[in-house]
Amino acid sequence: MEIVEFTAEHAEAFRLLNEAWISKDFALEAKDREVLGDPQGAIIAKGGKVFIALKDHHAVGCVALLKMSDGGYEVAKMTVAEEMRGLGLGRDLMQRCIDVGAADGAPRLYLETNSSLAPALALYRAMGFQQLARSDTAYLRADVFMERRYEL
């Protein structure tokens, strides 16, 4: 298994992996369609990053870091294919985000999620994320807001 930086050849896998988990419990929203339809323009061109987890050259997980105005990153569109869950790949993807944020001098990582996603919440807490008060969001499904601050 390896985690690589996004290239154009990963665009369809990034979209399909995310559509699968979102559609399972939620509705795809306008912001989802914007980001998943053009990760190069919506994420990378704006200073963000996308990582793809590969197993035997097939995408089995992904995560995006959206550049925030305060210099931090929003962790978004993180998912692991159902058949690969429980193997630590989510932790590996999140560790990549933490390492990249640290290397880039980001003050924090931020994320929005849903309270029904217990395994994801447990992972975020285990990796040092703290819950924040509710804030404005483009996502109807988001009801949990978290951040992980870096010591500067």
- Structural domain includes residue 68: yes
Place of tokens 């978004």: 76
How many C-beta neighbours within 10 Å does residue 55 have? 15
- Structural domain includes residue 115: no
- Structural domain includes residue 131: no
Give the list of residues 6+ apart from residue 71 with CB closer than 8 angstroms, or none.
Answer: 105, 106, 107
Name the residue range of residue 39's domain: 2-106
How many C-beta neighbours within 10 Å does residue 119 have? 11
Q: What confidence tens digit (pLDDT) does each residue in 40-68 have?
A: 999 999 999 999 999 999 999 999 999 99
- Structural domain includes residue 33: yes
77 contacts 126 by C-beta, under 8 angstroms: no
Q: What confidence tens digit (pLDDT) does each residue in 11-33 have?
A: 999 999 999 999 999 999 999 99
Alpha carbons 81 and 135: distance in angstroms, whole number = 29
- Structural domain includes residue 24: yes
- Structural domain includes residue 114: no
Residue 16's pLDDT is what?
Answer: 97
Residue 76's pLDDT is what?
Answer: 97
How many structural domains compose the chain? 1
- Structural domain includes residue 37: yes
- Structural domain includes residue 80: yes
CATH number of the domain residue 85 falls in: 3.40.630.30
